[in-house]
Amino acid sequence: MAIELVYCADGNRRFAEIAVQAGFRYGARLPARGLPFAPWFADQDWKQPNRSRYMAELAKHRPVMATVLDWETEEQLSEVLSWAEEAAQYVERVILIPKVIGGIPQLPRRIGSADVVLGFSVPTRYGGTAVPSWEFDGWPVHLLGGSPHAQMRLAHYMNVVSADGNCHNLMATRFCEYWQSGKWIPVKPKQEDAIYVAFLRSCENIMAAWRAGGV
């Protein structure tokens, strides 16, 4: 399975169009309004989960991949699998996100008609996982968030099949910088549509770097 890169955001059609034209899949946190594309990947608000609303959105959009409730405590496993069983009705791949050290052997490889992919939350200020990367050995892995170079480093140790993020969007809009070979490089601020130029360069460079084997 080739690595699928996902631009995960909602709201700004122009950014989404740039990413999709560069080869990214489109992803969104559901529920969301005004989606410019049907989401190929769906995520839910792990800090404030709302199962009924999320499942209704999965039923509506039928993405290829979708996350479910993070598995954060041992006692939570039955609830996580219950979410996954419901989500499996609407997707081809269910992403289980283990955050319990030593817990991965308890997880199934398939749920209903859907394949199971493990989600690894790349450590950032927003979130992350304490489960070491070697515990994911032998599993297909989806990387959740993080910088492009952090994701590429992890791919040397894990069977990464897909990765999502919008770090390059943030760097373009806040600092007018684009990603190249693990560095952030500024675009001249007087250049017309500078933030979109930066974002396009990032998308193209990130895609090329993954195809070349990372940094």
Q: 76-100, pLDDT tens digit by residue?
A: 999 999 999 999 999 999 999 999 9
Domain region containing 44: 4-166
Domain presence at residue 213: no
pTM: 0.94
Domain presence at residue 177: no
Report pLDDT digits (tens) over 190-204.
777 999 999 999 999
Domain presence at residue 88: yes
Domain presence at residue 132: yes
Q: What is the mean pLDDT of the chain?
A: 93
Domain presence at residue 212: no
Q: Give how many domains the chain has, as a whole number.
A: 1
CATH number at residue 25: 3.20.20.10
Domain presence at residue 188: no
Q: How far apart are CA 175 and CA 67, in angstroms?
A: 30
CA nearest neighbour of 97 among 66, 124, 59: 66
Helices (H), the chain: 13-21, 51-61, 77-87, 148-154, 167-175, 194-211
Exposed/middle/buried for residue 158 (C-beta within 10 Å: 0-12, 13-18, 19+): buried
Q: How far apart are CA 87 and CA 92, in angstroms?
A: 9
Domain presence at residue 62: yes
146 CB neighbour count, 10 Å cutoff: 23
Domain presence at residue 109: yes
